[in-house]
Amino acid sequence: MTPFARRAVLAAPALLLAPRARAQGAAFPNRPVRMIVPYTPGGVSDITARLMSDPLAAAWGQPVPVENRAGADGVIGTEMVARAAPDGHVLGLVSVGHPVNAAYYKLPYDTMRDFSFVTQTTSTPLVLCAGRGFGPTTPAELVAHAKRNPGVTFAGTGGVVRLAPVLFGQLTGIELTYVPYRGSTGAHPDLIAGRVDIMFDTVPAALTHIQSGALKALATTGAKRAPQLPEVPTLAEALLPGFEASTWGMVIAPAGLPAPVLQKLNADCVAALRRPEVMERHTTLGAEVVTSSPEAIRAFCAAELAKWGEAARRAGIEPQ
């Protein structure tokens, strides 16, 4: 074999790989970036995505359309993210329902393995509330009442709103009876009238009724007191140190995202979320902007998956 022929043979693999290498090294983004929200319009996840869209589009020089792909408690839209190409051009903005859904459903994807984790976006605490005619006014009084009167009822709408009282009951050794509702608006009239005893609802959903006096707040469930209810102690303060149960959001992408793309997505999403007008708008919604590194949000999601999965298993809830 001549030296020229030998060089040609050795160069052939590199020539074959060159188009692929150029494609992988192409600047991100080089086309519109779809932001999939697997829920109906109007919720915190949807609003967060839309508040992020314009700053990200300005930073990237590409449109960032928000697509609502609701269904099956977020599973349909989330699967679309899992099945997309891992190049950063398809993102998802999901809630605490992402890890919680594994307790309820046999999912068509793996909650951790099939995704890249970009950043947390928000945190919204729950509030343990009851009608004003319900006797107990503190978590400790509630526990004492439930031990004397087994079968205290709680309104649940699925997800963490259902599992938070389950975990509360397990940790305090009380028996609580689940009463299902399709949403807070359906549960509130029965809660106010005393037809159901308690509810762990989101602060924004229950706030108007608490402020009017129709509902009373026994505790909130965040790591710190809710700004909208500064006089109400956290459940960790009042009874259960370390207890936390919040709804929260995060940006995800398909698994296998190149490290430089993930780093850019994290930096730009965090910058968009920390804009003053974005943070102020979330405050009016009762949510707090919370950002994180990809490593931190992955670890947080894994911890939530374990916590709520164990609570569901102990309650006899099996994935369907």
Paired with 93 in beta bridges are: 251
What pLDDT, on the 0 to 100 scale, is given for residue 10? Answer: 43
DSSP label at residue 72: G
Give 36's strand partners.
Answer: 67, 92
The residue ranges of DSSP E strands in 88-173, in sequence order, are 90-95, 115-131, 152-156
Segment (H or E) for 159: helix 159-172
User: Could you give the angle at the alpha carbon of 152 between the alpha carbons of 148 and 153, nearest 5°?
Assistant: 175
Q: How confident is the model at residue 65 (pLDDT cuts 50, 70, 90)?
A: very high
Residues 265 and 273: their CA atoms lie apart, in Å, by 12
Q: Do the Cβ atoms of 136 and 142 come closer than 8 Å? A: yes
The most distant pair of C-alpha atoms in the chain lies apart, rounded to whole Å, by 96
pLDDT at residue 162, rounded to an integer: 93
The pLDDT of residue 26? 61
pLDDT digits (tens, 9 = 90+) for 21-44: 334 446 899 999 999 999 999 989
Residue 248 has pLDDT above 60, yes or no: yes
Per-residue pLDDT of 67-113, as tens digits, reads: 999 999 999 999 999 999 999 999 999 999 999 999 999 999 999 99
Q: CB–CB of 217/228 below 8 Å?
A: no
Q: Please compute the mean of the pLDDT values over residues 298-311 and round it to a whole number.
A: 97
Q: Which domains does the chain have, with CATH numbers?
A: 34-124+247-314 (3.40.190.150), 125-238 (3.40.190.10)
pLDDT digits (tens, 9 = 90+) for 160-190: 999 999 999 999 999 999 999 988 989 999 9
Distance (Å, whole) CA 177 – CA 268: 45
pLDDT score for 182: 87
pLDDT for residue 4 is more than 50: no
**Tokens 């164990």 belong to which residue?**
310
Strand, coil or helix: 130: strand
d(CA 311, CA 320): 16
Q: Where are the alpha helices (DSSP H) in 41-74?
A: 44-60
pLDDT at 251: 98
How does residue 286 score in pLDDT terms, banded at 50, 70 and 90? confident
> What is the predicted pLDDT for the residue at 23?
40
Taking the chain, what is the end-to-end CA distance rounded to the nearest angstrom?
65
| pLDDT above 70 (res 216) | yes
For 124-143, the pLDDT digits (tens) are 999 999 999 999 999 999 99
pLDDT surpassing 60 at residue 145: yes
Phi, psi torsion values for 319, nearest 5 degrees: -60, 135
CA distance 226 to 294: 26
Query: What is the number of residues in the chain?
Result: 320
Mean pLDDT, the chain, whole residue set:
91
Q: Tell me if 302 sits within 8 A of 96, measured CB to CB.
A: no
Question: What are the tens digits of pLDDT across the range 66-80?
Answer: 999 999 999 999 999
pLDDT of the residue at 183? 87
More confident residue, 20 or 145: 145
Distance (Å) of CA 307 to CA 80, 276, 293, 301, 320: 26, 33, 21, 10, 19
